[in-house]
Structure 1
Amino acid sequence: MAILAWLRLLRLPNHATAAADVLAGFLICSQARILELPQPVLWWALAAGVCLYAAGMVLNDVFDYELDRLERPERPLPTGIISVRTAATVGYALLAMGSVLACIAAFISHQPAVALIGAALTLAIWTYDRHAKQTAFGPAFMGLCRTLNWLLGMAAAGGPAMPQQWLLPIGMGMYVTGITLYARDEASRSRIATLVVATLLMLAGLTTTGAYAYCLATKGGGSAWLTAGRLDSWMLLWCVLSISILLRAVLGIIDPSPSRVRAAVGNAIMSIITLDAVLVLSSCSEQWAIVVILLLAPFLFGRQLVSVT
């Protein structure tokens, strides 16, 4: 029972999305074309990203304890299975561990930017959980966290090598801002206007991120898919994925009930892994795209045990 409570507190399945972001950012900036054992810095960056994500999940419930007692009494902290003090200790320990791991990644890669981004991500996570979540800036801070998570992986590989690569963290940040806004009132009946704005933000994020492959192809770069003239196929795949995400969001607008909204949010979160894999396909080998998509396995398995929202 206690183990399941911790899995729920950590929202364990979602950690796969954090790993996918760091991995995708690293692979794209390093332009990995051959499937081989990654550099050690990637493992440290992955560990840092996952630890910081876990810290955010735990501290989220710590600071939302009073609200959850009213709106989500079934959560691990209101039920008393895990004490607030224990959760806070674990959350801050994970936050510190993630920062240290980012510093180690910076040291072994000789990339100080990794440590700086890790520090910025740590601050953004704490600010979101402690102060910003219940304000109008909450969704933007969550999007910022996702942007920094992408940049953590990119910096570990030396950082963006071309201007269009900045579209990736910016676009994914916009997408997650939309998801966060969409989920804002999921415990009750959501406001249609909020859902519409959130859906438009997700659309803007998907469009911005997808524009990366177009910019890459027009300059004669990218993976074998793009250099072989398969940009149309890549764009079709991206559009199909985007439509599948946005269709769920529109269904939530039509019926803004908690169950329908949570289903749309869960699908949008899960799709982060798929989107990351398709982005990797635009710049790296198909084998690396498969490695990223395999992160769906722990996500789907974990979703059978605990909710992702």
Structure 2
Amino acid sequence: MTDPHHPGKKAAWAELLRLSALFSVPGDAFAGAAAAGRAPNRGTVLAACASLCLYEAGMTLNDWADRDVDAVERPHRPLPSGRIAPGAAFGAAAGLTAAGLGLAAVAGRPALATATALAGAVWAYDLRLKNTKAGPAAMAAARALDLLMGAAATAGRSARTGGAGPDAVPRAFPAAALLGAHTYAVTLVSRRETEGGSSTLPLAALGVLGGIARAAGRNPRAAAAAPGGRAAPEPVPPVLPAGRRLTAPAFFAAGYAATAARPYAHAALNPSPYLYQRAVGGGIRAMIPLQAALAARSGRTGTAAALLALLPVARRLARKVSPT
């Protein structure tokens, strides 16, 4: 008879893989495509699938590397509780990494090169850098590379038909920097989520997130028509009547700010472990409206709206499976 206090294997893997956080991943590739000035294509989808594999590889490897620490601080986690064997977790991390690189390879050599750097950042963070001063920077680099992989995969496939200029991926650098800055701030707070701390850290994160929201909400430069006769990105329409200044990028950036600000403000007012964990979970979910804002900033309001639709689903699933 199954012990009711120990969920089945499927539930244990769902917890290990942080399934509720998965919704924050595909938007990296689509925001990267938008930032590169391209419409989503098959390469974008391949990049999103590769991102999912590499993200889950990182989640699994993280718990494998932390299994001794979790035995003390989080004995309910799948590995220290014995619901999943350490060897199975490590094997899953290796297999998911291989799958992610394989999918990126199908999208082209630029995407594979970026995915290889991304996989290296993920494994270096989990195995060596997590508890060092370089840890947050490694995690930020991984998210930035994830967005750039979407740009490289999208532009790479277009390049074979003469539709992408050599500047397609560099155009995505500013968006990647904003996503990386967000990740850096969230990672800094996550390092104290099991013990809490002072109000200084969540307050500092709030300041960073506010600056990101302001940058993401700015009107982009007018997009030039793409070479090869392809259509330019969609124009950025206002979401308020004429005479008002709230454009689509500002609208989505406001959604990002609202999603991120509340849990970090709560953690600043009461820096307990519980509210630190809530702040980290909120920061992970806030990546979805940030990706939407970055897509809208590049003129892809349709992509932005589709990405934002993932947010309520992520919130509902987070009630069942913690994203941290």
1:52 matched residue in structure 2: 54
The CA distance in 1 between the partners of 2:72 and 2:169, in whole Å, is 49
**Shift in Å, 1:277:** 1.7
The CA distance in 1 between the partners of 2:238 and 2:255, in whole Å, is 21
CA RMSD of aligned residues (A): 2.7
Alignment identity in percent? Answer: 29
**Structural mapping, 1:197-216, within 5 Å:** 197-210=204-217, 213-216=218-221
Which whole-Å deviations, capped at 9, do the CAs of 1:95-145 have from their partners, x for residues lacking one?
Answer: 111112111111xxxxx2211100000000000000111111111111111
The CA distance in 1 between the partners of 2:169 and 2:54, in whole Å, is 27
TM-score normalised by the chain length of structure 2: 0.82
Among 195, 199, 203, the residue aligned to 1:196: 203
Q: Using a 3 Å threshold, how does the CA distance of structure 1 residues 203 and 140 change in structure 2: closer, same or farther?
A: farther
**Shift in Å, 1:30:** 4.1
The CA distance in 1 between the partners of 2:105 and 2:172, in whole Å, is 24
1:260 matched residue in structure 2: 275
Alignment of 1:225 with 2:227, yes or no, is: no
Q: Using a 3 Å threshold, how does the CA distance of structure 1 residues 78 and 130 change in structure 2: closer, same or farther?
A: same
Q: Contact (CA 8 Å) 1:199, 1:246: kept in 2 or not?
A: yes
Q: Using a 3 Å threshold, how does the CA distance of structure 1 residues 298 and 247 change in structure 2: closer, same or farther?
A: closer
Q: Using a 3 Å threshold, how does the CA distance of structure 1 residues 201 and 135 change in structure 2: closer, same or farther?
A: farther
2:177 matched residue in structure 1: 170
Of structures 1 and 2, the one with the larger relative CO (CA 8 A, separation 6+) is: 1
Among 13, 21, 32, the residue aligned to 2:28: 21
Q: Using a 3 Å threshold, how does the CA distance of structure 1 residues 174 and 54 change in structure 2: closer, same or farther?
A: same
Q: Using a 3 Å threshold, how does the CA distance of structure 1 residues 44 and 300 change in structure 2: closer, same or farther?
A: same
**Structural mapping, 1:82-231, within 5 Å:** 82-106=84-108, 112-158=109-155, 161=168, 165-210=172-217, 213-216=218-221, 223-226=234-237
**Shift in Å, 1:286:** 3.6
2:160 matched residue in structure 1: none
Q: Contact (CA 8 Å) 1:20, 1:276: kept in 2 or not?
A: yes
**Shift in Å, 1:148:** 0.5
Q: Using a 3 Å threshold, how does the CA distance of structure 1 residues 84 and 118 change in structure 2: closer, same or farther?
A: same
Counterpart amino acid of residue 23 in structure 1:
F
Number of residue equivalences: 297
Q: Using a 3 Å threshold, how does the CA distance of structure 1 residues 234 and 227 change in structure 2: closer, same or farther?
A: closer
The CA distance in 2 between the partners of 1:144 and 1:162, in whole Å, is 16
Q: Contact (CA 8 Å) 1:114, 1:152: kept in 2 or not?
A: yes
Q: Using a 3 Å threshold, how does the CA distance of structure 1 residues 239 and 305 change in structure 2: closer, same or farther?
A: closer
Counterpart amino acid of residue 91 in structure 1:
A
Which whole-Å deviations, capped at 9, do the CAs of 1:281-300 have from their partners, x for residues lacking one?
Answer: 23344432222223335423
SS in 1 for 2:131: coil
Counterpart amino acid of residue 58 in structure 2:
G
SS in 1 for 2:132: coil
**Structure 2 unaligned residues grouped into runs of 5+:** 1-7, 156-165, 226-231
Q: Using a 3 Å threshold, how does the CA distance of structure 1 residues 202 and 285 change in structure 2: closer, same or farther?
A: closer
The CA distance in 2 between the partners of 1:275 and 1:142, in whole Å, is 17
Q: Contact (CA 8 Å) 2:114, 2:145: kept in 1 or not?
A: yes
Structure of higher CA gyration radius: 2
Which whole-Å deviations, capped at 9, do the CAs of 1:239-295 have from their partners, x for residues lacking one?
Answer: 453255224312211210122222222222112112212322233444322222233
Counterpart amino acid of residue 187 in structure 1:
T
The CA distance in 1 between the partners of 2:11 and 2:78, in whole Å, is 9
Which whole-Å deviations, capped at 9, do the CAs of 1:171-193 have from their partners, x for residues lacking one?
Answer: 11001110111121111222333
The CA distance in 2 between the partners of 1:114 and 1:236, in whole Å, is 30
Q: Contact (CA 8 Å) 2:42, 2:154: kept in 1 or not?
A: no
| More helix as a share of residues | 1
2:5 matched residue in structure 1: none
The CA distance in 2 between the partners of 1:222 and 1:231, in whole Å, is 21
The CA distance in 2 between the partners of 1:216 and 1:10, in whole Å, is 39
Q: Contact (CA 8 Å) 1:59, 1:129: kept in 2 or not?
A: yes
The CA distance in 2 between the partners of 1:16 and 1:244, in whole Å, is 15
**Structure 1 unaligned residues grouped into runs of 5+:** 33-37, 107-111
